[in-house]
Structure 1
Amino acid sequence: MFIFSSFGLFLVAAFLEIGGGYLVWQWLRVRKKISIGLVGGFVLFLYGIIPTLQPSNFGRVYAAYGGIFVVMAIVWGLIIDKKNPDRFEIIGGAVVLAGALIIFYAPR
């Protein structure tokens, strides 16, 4: 159960960070209204809260989260930006995901 709940928290954090960053990107790069940027800032604030719910220390949580974030960013690009990942993105994503799983879930 621990793995499913903590992995779910990683996914929520990645969605919030990428989504919030995307909204700020839309405001600054695509010239959307400032309200979009403010919502993005609030979503990024929420992202900062989610990792505190993880049952480990700061360094381990953020090291593992980095791998989850990379994979979720590739998935975001596929679904939202309609950009198919190339083989190097897929290979790199698999490598960092494996590293994240080892960092966070290896027995100690």
Structure 2
Amino acid sequence: MILRTLGILVLASVLEVGGDALVRIGLHSYGYPLAAGAFALFAYGILVNQSGVDFNRLMGIYIAIFFVVSQVISLVLFKQVPDDRIILGGGFIVAGGLLILLMT
């Protein structure tokens, strides 16, 4: 169950961060990226709520996964390298997500 939930959360975060990136791109070019971003964000909302995990635990774990995925997409699509403050703060976010995940 935990691997299935983590898989759903990783896919959901890719949809959310990717959807937001598409909206950002679409705001400058209009058309398909904007529509694709809206669709991806809608799909994220449906997917993330399919898990049977309590909402508060789900979101706590999800935020840690979201942070990691957002840094990867930011680096790949926008060539933005995280600085030391983002890495340090993100370390706390990931540590909190792991604490929520492992303390059940």
For the aligned residue pairs, the C-alpha RMSD in angstroms reads 1.6
The answer as to 2:77 corresponding to 1:76 is no
Deviation at 1:47, TM superposition (A): 0.3
Structure 1 counterpart of 2:19:
20
Gaps of 5+ in 1: none
Distance in 2, matches of 1:104 and 1:94, equals: 15
CA contact (8 A) 1:27 1:37 kept: yes
TM-score under structure 2 length normalisation: 0.86
Mapping of residues 1-108 of structure 1, within 5 Å: 2-28=1-27, 31-107=28-104
Contact 1:74 1:89 in 2 (8 A): no
The aligned length equals: 104
On the 8 A contact 1:13/1:51 being kept in 2, the answer is: yes
Work out the CA distance in 2 between the residues paired with 1:89 and 1:68. Answer: 15
Unaligned runs of 5+ in 2: none
Secondary structure at the counterpart of residue 86 of structure 2: helix
Which moves more between the two structures, 40-49 or 96-105? 96-105
